[in-house]
Chains A and B, each alone.
Chain A
């Protein structure tokens, strides 16, 4: 039977667009659907990313996608002492603060240029199945409701992913693996605009507060907190408001934008594929459990997904067996790191302010050779091996 598309990608965020791009580029007939009316908006992101991985997924940022370049990261311990992860010790790897409104459009444009189709304001409402096999998706849009048949549906539908759940893939999260977030884009502030700032400890229990500069007097100031550390409704916003009021640099700031959302901070899930179905990005719970960042992991996995889907198209085989190449492929790249960082997160959420102070002091003494979580954990190990005991084998 002739199908409408080889691949239908649900969700045109970074994971969806990157999957569509690589699948289309290598010959698959791809449709992306996006429930929102504009790609990249509203923003649900802190927007701080690293740069080192861009080449590996064929990503070339344009001017508009980059809001600000920083020299590195600044960790702030509960007692106010700081540790700078600078450009110098990080080689040429600098951090950037992107503009998701443009960044997501850039990625979608790349997918379209590679040959993918895109429809906006189009929501998936259910999966079409033949037995256990996914054979298409029902889409509600301005053109009405229609059933679209395809070889594989890609669930790139983010934290609140429905596609995976409809397909019977277990993406459920324990409360300790959910981080609830709130962010202001604050303007009229003073800040150390050469660094992305991370505030650790009990100011944001089970998470951290971030200050990521968007320009000299504006920054994304946000907070993430573990669900199990929350007791009252709106605690997340209250902790952030309290922090801002207590910081003279930020107190006079006013918000240009409010952002809320949640991220998964879990260990790698057991399965991200089925017959005619594949999950990628936040929907596949690929977010880094320590940083809460998802874009680089999503893009790396999405490239594998796109390439496997193109092969599956050529072979006309979208079975779970065929898609195992994706399952194995993304795990080769990400699984160890996700698991290690999940174990590290489980430890970090138990640390007292005093221990955070000691850890920051240690980092200043021993230094780190790379701007990465891995390098930080290795440095911590030199002085506090007990803190990394559970995941020593990964260091």
Chain B
């Protein structure tokens, strides 16, 4: 896993509803719900499933912009 790439996964806290849709959808169990944020672990493979699963579009991969 390329750590630099992981830095590019970003959560927009103005959009995030903290619902856990991304957590349950992650095939690597690489996402953790924190009290106010979600956190991506280094076992993330950038499969982008969480980006799809997020109902409100709060997760973006910066390189996609």
User: A26 vs B50: C-alpha distance in the bound complex, in angstroms?
Assistant: 41
- A interface SS class: mixed
B54 close to A160 (CB less than 8 A): no
Question: Within B10-45, which residues are at the interface with A (CB < 8 Å)?
Answer: 15, 17, 19-21, 23-25, 27, 29, 33
> Which of A65-73, A129-137, A174-182, A344-352 binds B?
A174-182
Residues in B whose Cβ lies below 8 Å from that of A158: 20, 24
The answer to whether A234 touches B57 (Cβ under 8 A) is yes
Contact (Cβ within 8 A) B57 A237: yes
B-binding residues in A (CB < 8 A): 44, 158-162, 165, 172-173, 175, 178, 180-182, 227, 230, 232-237, 258-262, 264
Q: Is the CB of B24 within 8 A of A173?
A: yes
User: In the complex, A64→B17 CA distance in Å?
Assistant: 26
In Å, the complex CA distance between A172 and B51 comes to: 17
B47-59 near A? 1/0 per residue, CB < 8 Å: 0010111111111
Indicate which residue in A182, A233, A258 contacts B60 across the interface (CB closer than 8 Å).
Answer: A233
Lowest 3 A-B CB distances belong to which pairs? A234-B57, A233-B57, A160-B20
Q: Do B20 and A159 touch (CB < 8 A)? A: yes
Q: Is the CB of B24 within 8 A of A236?
A: no
Q: Which residues of B contact A172 (CB under 8 A)?
A: 27
Q: Which residues of A contact B15 (CB under 8 A)?
A: 234
Q: B interface, how many residues as a size bin?
A: 20 to 34
Known contacts being A165-B29, A173-B24, A233-B60, is A260 close to B17, with CB within 8 Å? yes
A227 to B52, Cβ gap below 8 A?
yes
**Contact status A227-B49, CB under 8 Å:** yes
Complex Cα distance, B54 from A264, in Å, reads: 14
Complex: A29 Cα to B57 Cα, angstroms? 43
B residues within 8 Å of A by Cβ? 15, 17, 19-21, 23-25, 27, 29, 33, 49, 51-60
Instruction: Give Cα A235 to B53, complex, Å.
Output: 10
Judging by beta carbons under 8 Å apart, are A162 and B57 in contact? Answer: no
Flag if A233 contacts B53 (CB, 8 Å).
Answer: no
A228 to B2, CA, bound (A): 26
Given contacts A160-B33, A162-B29, A165-B29, contact A178 B24 (CB under 8 A): yes
Q: Which residues of B contact A237 (CB under 8 A)?
A: 55-57
Chain A residues with CB below 8 A from B57, complex form: 232-235, 237
- Among A160, A180, A259, point to the contact of B52 (Cβ < 8 A): A180
Interface hub of B25, B49, B59, B60 (most chain A Cβ within 10 A): B25
Chain A residues, Cβ within 8 Å of B51: 233
Closest CB of chain A to B60's CB: distance in Å?
7
User: Separation in Å of the A182 CB from the closest CB of chain B?
Assistant: 4
A260-B22 Cα distance, complex, nearest whole Å? 11
Residues of chain A with a CB closer than 8 A to B56's CB: 182, 234, 236-237, 260
Docked CA distance A44–B17 (Å): 11
Could you list 10 examples of A-B contacts with CB < 8 Å? A158-B24, A159-B21, A160-B33, A233-B52, A234-B55, A237-B55, A237-B56, A237-B57, A261-B19, A262-B19
In the bound complex, CA of A261 to CA of B21 (Å): 5
**Other CB < 8 Å A-B pairs besides A160-B23, A227-B25, A233-B59, 11 of them?**
A158-B24, A180-B21, A180-B55, A182-B55, A227-B52, A230-B52, A234-B55, A235-B57, A236-B55, A260-B19, A264-B24
Complex-state Cα separation, A105 to B51, whole angstroms: 33
**Contact call B19/A227, Cβ cutoff below 8 A:** no
What is the bound-complex CA distance between A182 and B24, given in angstroms? 16
Chain A residues with CB below 8 A from B20, complex form: 158-160, 261-262
Contact B55 A175 (CB under 8 A): no
Contacts of B60 in A (CB 8 A): 233
Task: List residues of chain A with CB within 8 A of the CB of B58.
Answer: 233
Whose C-beta in chain B lies nearest to the C-beta of A261? B19
CB distance from B58 to the nearest CB of A (A): 8
Give min CB distance, B9 to chain A, whole Å.
12
State A377–B50 Cα separation when bound (angstroms).
Answer: 33
Output the nearest chain B residue to A258 by Cβ-Cβ distance. B17
Q: How far is the CB of B30 from chain A (nearest CB, A)?
A: 11
